[in-house]
Each structure stands twice: as structure tokens, then as C-alpha cells.
A and B are shown apart, each in its own frame.
Chain A
Amino acid sequence: MPMNSIQKTLPFYFRLSDKPLFGCYHEPPANRRRQVGVLICQPVGHEYVNSHRALRQLANRFSEAGFPVLRFDYYGCGDSSGNTEDSSVAQWLKDISAAIAELRRRAGVFRVCLVGLRLGAALAVLAAAQRRDVESMVLWDPVVEGGKYFADLCLLEKEMLRFRAKRRRTEKVRDGVEILGFQWPRCLISEVESISLRTIAGGFAKNMLVMQSDLSRGGDCSQDQLDLCATHLERRSLEAPEIWRPTVDGSLLVPAQVLQAVVSWSSEIHS
């Protein structure tokens, strides 16, 4: 599909032979193109839907700053093939590897920066630890302990249920747990609950930024453990909304200050 000067975002499918994945490639302006590609690892479930707008704008900002960028959907998520019920963490880690290969091929770069939000950040860390060829990472409000993350999701569902009609008895019993319109199968839940970034052996990325967007909560103390993950780790906290959570009026939030901070840090590291 031809790309022209107006539209520099190219949606496409890759890994066509096996479980095709949807990706969106953002081409940087030729005159300020950098030799580092950015792969955006999105969150999953309702958090994916709520943060799509912000991550698209983040990709635009990265691209304007000269980075070739690939956003993609994991198997069973967004526009990619498969159903949410068939998803697994192991599959999503394979998907990140396939997306890194696609970004390298499409952008003609070898150096890659992974940028992940929430569970996407945890998956990025797990993938980087397996591969050990990732140059830098940005972890935006990362899920550090999968057990706590899933417990919080269940609490949120319970809170939303208060305003919903009670279930009828005739309705189907499904495998796993339903969270805000997405079915989490039991095997996926156990995989997610077993995620702990504390146990990751360190030094697999040269530079890492941990971005905490909600000062009022005081951050996740477990993030101290991330010191081991990178040679140089920097933390930043900004008072910004938790964009992945549902809002009262259904609006989708874009925290400009967080996007700016992430792109500035990456531009500085890869100048």
C-alpha cells in the first residue's frame, strides 16, 4: 500500500502465515530519521481500549522526533487475529519478538527501544530479558506484580457490577473471569498472576525510564526491584490521570506531559 506525504501511518498485518497480527507503522520524516526503532507494547483488555488514543499520539510524537515506530496488537487483542479467550502470556511474548523483527525489517534498523504501558510494560521486560538485544526501555506505570494487578482488575469489575443488573440463571458459565467485557481464561490468569518483575535477572537493557503517572498513590514500591534490570535506570513521576481506567463520561484521556517526557527522554538517550 503506498504511503504519501500526508498519511505517514501505515496499518497492515504481519506474520501472515501463522496467527496474523495487526500493526501500525509510523514513518519518521526523512530529514531527521534516527537509527533506533520504537516498539510500543500496549496493555490488554479494557486498558487497551482506554489507552489506544494516548498511545497513538505517543507514536506520532516519537515519529515526529525521528524514530520509526511500530504499534501492534497482541494475538486475541484489538485488530489481530484470535479471540481474547485464546490468549496467553507465552503467545504475547512471541508476538513481541515477531513485532521486533517486523520493525527491524520495515525500518531498516537494528537498535530497538521498547515502550510499554501497564501489562504491556511487564511483557516488554519479560521479552527483553529473554532476548537481551533491546537497547532501551520505557516502562509507563508498569505492572510489577501480576497477582496485585489481577486483584485490582477484579475489584474494578466488582465496583462496576454495583450498577449493573443481576445475572440471570440461564446465562452461560464460562472458563475464567470476566473483566469489563473481556473474558480472562483461567490459564491466562495464572500466567499473569505469576508475573513478578522482582525475579528478573538484571542488566538486559542499557537505559530504562520508569514513568509513574500518579503521584497521589505514591507509586508501586515494588518498582525498586527494577533497579537490577538496566545499567542506567531513571524514574520520573508526573501528576497525570490513569488513562487506562474507565472514566465517568467515557472520555479517553491523553496526558500530554507524560508523552512529552517519554519522547524527550528517549530523544536524549538516542541523540
Chain B
Amino acid sequence: MTEEAVLFGPRQSLAGIVTEPAIRGDLRTRTAVVLLNAGIVHRVGPGRIYVKMARALAAMGFVALRFDFSGIGDSAVRHDHLSFEKSAVAEAQEAIEFLKATRGIERVLFLGGCSGAFASLATACCDPRVTGAVLINFQTADDDHAVAPPDVSTRKAAHYYWSCALFNLTSWRKLLTGKTDYGQLTRVLWFEVRRRLAFKKNELREPTHLETSLGRVAARRVPLVFVCSGGDPRLQDLREAGGQVLKRLCASGEVVLDVIHGADHTFSSIDDQEHLLKTVCRRIESMQHLPTVRHGLATGAEAAASCQLLRPAPVVQVGTNARQGRDL
């Protein structure tokens, strides 16, 4: 395995690391996996998980490129005022072009956590060179929420109450002896009530951005794998925003949803990191055997229209969170 530091893009301003097998020429070395930043954490990823993933993928025979979007890590800031939704896709496509120009690679799988998952799906929507994507703790667009989500600490608290405190004797004792933050508890309950009411009301709603994007990618038969931490509130957001389309695609096997129980948003336990690593390697291995469906490259206007389907929420990463989720 070798690692090389690279600069690419029209201004040579995107910094990344290419990890590749020592021996090239295998079919797999003609496939690359591009890892997109998880939030604003630079290309090593939380807990250095991207480094471990890139090395594991190189050991399996793939070329891995993990790079920083503009303004993150070692990549220079853009000065064209392009929104994240557009610049992320443009830069992901620059990564594909770089791999083609320097390694002759045409098959590319995308992998990203949080907003990196969002950028991966957005790129898969508008670029037919993307032959699969692994989306870790996918961050849904703001517009896809039935009710505007509260601040991060209330969301974390909500998840903690439902999945941990509800079954914990000490927490009940604190509640009954006045040692609980009643203000926060009220905010959490109010948010949940509004969310459940809105969800019922929205059963006949217009398709969300995520549903539209899933439909578009599924029509091209691009395999998608969602990997979610059981302890991350985004799992619930994904189920709500994905709605019936996600359920149907999961049932037909066109989309896979893996839940890692007990893991938090950033996989801050090494056991969870190992679990994630195994899941990612297994899913990428299986994508490798799927036939490639190729279409012509989208025109600029088509690509822009496709990318509009997904709009990112602000970059937010949460710290640790709790306990178990339920499968779809």
C-alpha cells in the first residue's frame, strides 16, 4: 500500500491523500472510492476513521482518495461565493476527473459521513460516473423536516430521553426528586408532539427532496447504502424524509439501510469504528460485483437541476449520544 499527498482541481487548491495498493493492474484498482469530509472535520475523519477506511480499501485492491472540500482542512477557500451544495458537487466531480487523468479510473464509488453523505448523494444524482455510494449518518435537508429541528443540545437530549433515560431508574428518580432540567424536558416533549402531528398530516405530502433523489438514483440502478448510528437522531430524520420511497427501495433491496446499534454520530468508540469499517468494506465489496450502468455525462444545466433536488442543512456535527435505534 502507498500513500501520496496530492493537489488537484483547476486552481490546484484541493488537498488530498491517495491510498492505493502496492500492486496495480487488478480490475479493482480501476475502481476508486472517494471519501468526502464528515462535516468540517478534515480528511482524516473523526477518530481517524477515514485513514483506517482508506487503508482497508487499498488492502482490498481499491484506490482510495480522501480530500478536503474548499475551506476545510488543507484545501484553500473558494472566492467565487458558490454555495456548499454546488461547490461540493463540483469538487467531487473534480476528484473524479483527477482520478481519471492520473490513474485512468472511470468507476467511482462515493463515501461520506454527515454532510459528506449529503454531497455523495447529490453527486450520484447528477454524475453517471458515480457507480455507488455509502452514506453514513446522512444529513437530510432542512426542507425535508416535517417540523424545523430544534438546537443540537435539545435534539441530543430528546434522543437521550427516548432511548436511554426512559429505561433508566436513576433518571426516573431524578425526575421525581426535582433534579431534572424540566425546561429542557418540556422543550423535548413539545418538539416530539409537534413532529408526530406534522408527520401524520404529511402522509399525503409532496415528495421530499430525499425521496426525489432516491427515485432518480434508483432509476439509474446505482446502489446506495445508508449506514446509520443507532444513537444518532439523524436516523429518525432519514426515515421521515425518505418516507415510502425509502421503505420501498429497502424492501426491494435497491437501497440498503444498515444500523449500527449503540454507536453515536461520530463513532467515538473504537468498537463502533471497527463495526463501521467492516460494514463499509462488506458493502463496497458487494457493489464491486454489480454491473455498471453507464449513461452520457449530464450537461451543466441538467447537473445543476439535479443538484437542486438536494439542499444541505448547515454543517453540524454532534458529539456523543446514546443507545439503540430500531430497524426500518
Contact = CB atoms under 8 A, between A and B. Distances in A.
Interface stretch (B4-12, B122-130, B251-259, B304-312): B4-12
Nearest to A85: B270
A239 interface: no
Contacts of B39: 250
Interface in A132-168: 160-161, 163-165, 167-168
B319 A165 contact: no
Given A11-B74, A22-B5, A163-B160, A174 B153 contact: no
B69 interface: no
Contact of B152 (A7, A168, A182, A248): A248
A246 B264 CA distance: 14
B277 to A, nearest CB: 12
B92 interface: no
B267 interface: yes
A163 B321 contact: yes
A25 to B, nearest CB: 11
Nearest to A46: B47
A24 B74 contact: yes
Interface string A9-35: 111110000001010100000000000
A221 interface: no
B266 A250 contact: yes
Nearest to A2: B12
Interface of A: 1-2, 4, 6-7, 9-13, 20, 22, 24, 46, 49, 52-53, 56, 77-79, 81, 84, 160-161, 163-165, 167-168, 171-172, 174, 178, 180-183, 246-252
Given A79-B44, A163-B322, A249 B76 contact: no
Contacts of A182: 47-48, 270
B209 interface: no
A167 B271 contact: yes
B249 interface: no
A57 to B, nearest CB: 11
Contacts of A178: 269-270
A160 B320 CA distance: 7
Contacts of A250: 39-40, 152, 265-266, 316-319
Given A165-B322, A248-B319, A250-B316, A181 B73 contact: no
| Of listed B5, B49, B273, residue having the most chain A CB within 10 A | B5
Interface in B288-320: 316-320
Contact of A81 (B3, B4, B44, B48): B3
Nearest to A183: B270
B7 A160 contact: no
Nearest to A174: B270
A260 to B, nearest CB: 19
24 contacts: A4-B11, A9-B15, A11-B6, A24-B74, A53-B42, A79-B17, A79-B44, A160-B268, A160-B319, A160-B320, A163-B320, A164-B321, A165-B231, A165-B324, A168-B271, A181-B49, A181-B268, A246-B319, A248-B152, A248-B318, A249-B317, A250-B152, A250-B318, A252-B40
Contacts of A13: 3-5
B107 interface: no
B316 A79 contact: no
Contact of A11 (B7, B40, B320): B7
Contacts of A161: 320
Contacts of A49: 41-42, 44, 46-48
B317 to A, nearest CB: 3
B262 interface: yes
Contact of A6 (B4, B41, B76, B265): B76
Nearest to B268: A181
Interface in B49-93: 49, 51, 73-74, 76
B142 to A, nearest CB: 16
Contact of B74 (A1, A9, A20): A9
Contact of B76 (A9, A81, A84, A174): A9
B323 interface: yes
B195 interface: no
Contacts of B48: 49, 77-78, 84, 181-182
A4 B10 CA distance: 12
B153 A248 contact: yes
Nearest to A26: B74
B3 A20 contact: yes
Nearest to B66: A79
Contact of B316 (A180, A246, A249): A249
Contacts of B212: none
B43 interface: yes
Interface in B30-48: 39-44, 46-48
A172 B44 contact: no
A247 B318 CA distance: 8
Interface in B201-248: 230-231
A105 B79 CA distance: 33
Nearest to B55: A83
B271 A172 contact: yes
B13 interface: yes
Given A53-B42, A56-B73, A249 B270 contact: no
B145 interface: no
Nearest to B271: A171
A180 B44 contact: no
